[in-house]
Structure 1
Amino acid sequence: MKTSATVRPRKGYRFKARLYHPPRCRENLAPSPSASAPAHGLLLLLPGRQRIVLGVDGKHHFSENGHPSLKIYGDMVSADRELRLAGYEVYRFGANELVGEGAELRITDFFEKLFRLHRVGR
């Protein structure tokens, strides 16, 4: 599935965002054939051809049938390396980071730092 949109966060930043399966890593990103959720990320296309992939990890990213799996975790970190070697920056979030008290501040802080680092909107 590919979906894209122009995102305008606070302070007038503007960039493209796309729900995305990286082409060079499509097979590597699937946590395992038995995992219930497909692997995907949010691709941010920033000025200067900067490509950033954001991922949200739930328990299916490191477990199988409810048990920790070094193989699944290894597949995930291998896919991250492949993305980085292909010129993408990869930032992963634990699902718990994005819900509950403090989540909005945590997310806002991350994007402010990311945009400052990449000189977006300035």
Structure 2
Amino acid sequence: MYLHYAPYTAKHRAEPGPLARQRMDSLLLLPNRVRVVWEVDGQQHYSVDGRAGPQLYAQMVSEDRQLSRSGYDVYRFGGHELDRNNGPRMVAGFLRELLRRYDVPLPPSAVTD
């Protein structure tokens, strides 16, 4: 997903087309113009050839700050935490808490764990 496809972002941009380095894994558009970016980070986000890449990490957190300043809430997940057996349960719990935070009604099936 690219931010230039987000309706609110596209409406307020002077130039059409892609935004540099603003691709995300998921974008949730909630009521009241709440925009939530959800990223799942694999090694390519923080390492080069299996070694820690401080420049990659610095670039990533800098981009997160830019998104936050632009009105997006950014949540990052490590790919490894989603590979575990409890990944689906953890994601479901996160989404329930997120929707409650923004007073988005939950369907009855989503209320229970």
**TM-score grouping bracket, smaller chain normalisation:** 0.7 to 0.9
- Give distance in 1, aligned partners of 2:58 and 2:86: 30
Name the counterpart of 2:2: 21
| Alpha-carbon distance change, 105 to 44 in structure 1, aligned in 2, over 3 angstroms | same
Structure with greater helix share of residues: 2
Structure with greater strand share of residues: 1
Are 1:28 and 1:78, in contact at CA under 8 Å, matched by a contact in 2? no
Runs (5+) with no aligned partner, structure 2: 10-17, 107-113
Matches within 5 A, 1:37-116: 39-116=23-100
Mark the structure with the bigger radius of gyration.
Answer: 2
Question: What is the CA distance between 1:101 and its match in structure 2?
Answer: 1.2
Are 1:28 and 1:76, in contact at CA under 8 Å, matched by a contact in 2? no
Are 1:44 and 1:51, in contact at CA under 8 Å, matched by a contact in 2? yes
Runs (5+) with no aligned partner, structure 1: 1-19, 30-38
Q: How many percent identity over aligned positions?
A: 36
TM-score relative to the length of structure 1:
0.70
CA offset digits 1:40-88 (Å, max 9, x no partner): 2201000111000000000000011221110000000000000000000
Are 1:52 and 1:89, in contact at CA under 8 Å, matched by a contact in 2? yes
TM-score relative to the length of structure 2:
0.75
Residues paired across the two proteins, number: 94
Are 2:24 and 2:37, in contact at CA under 8 Å, matched by a contact in 1? no
Aligned CA RMSD, in angstroms, stands at 1.9
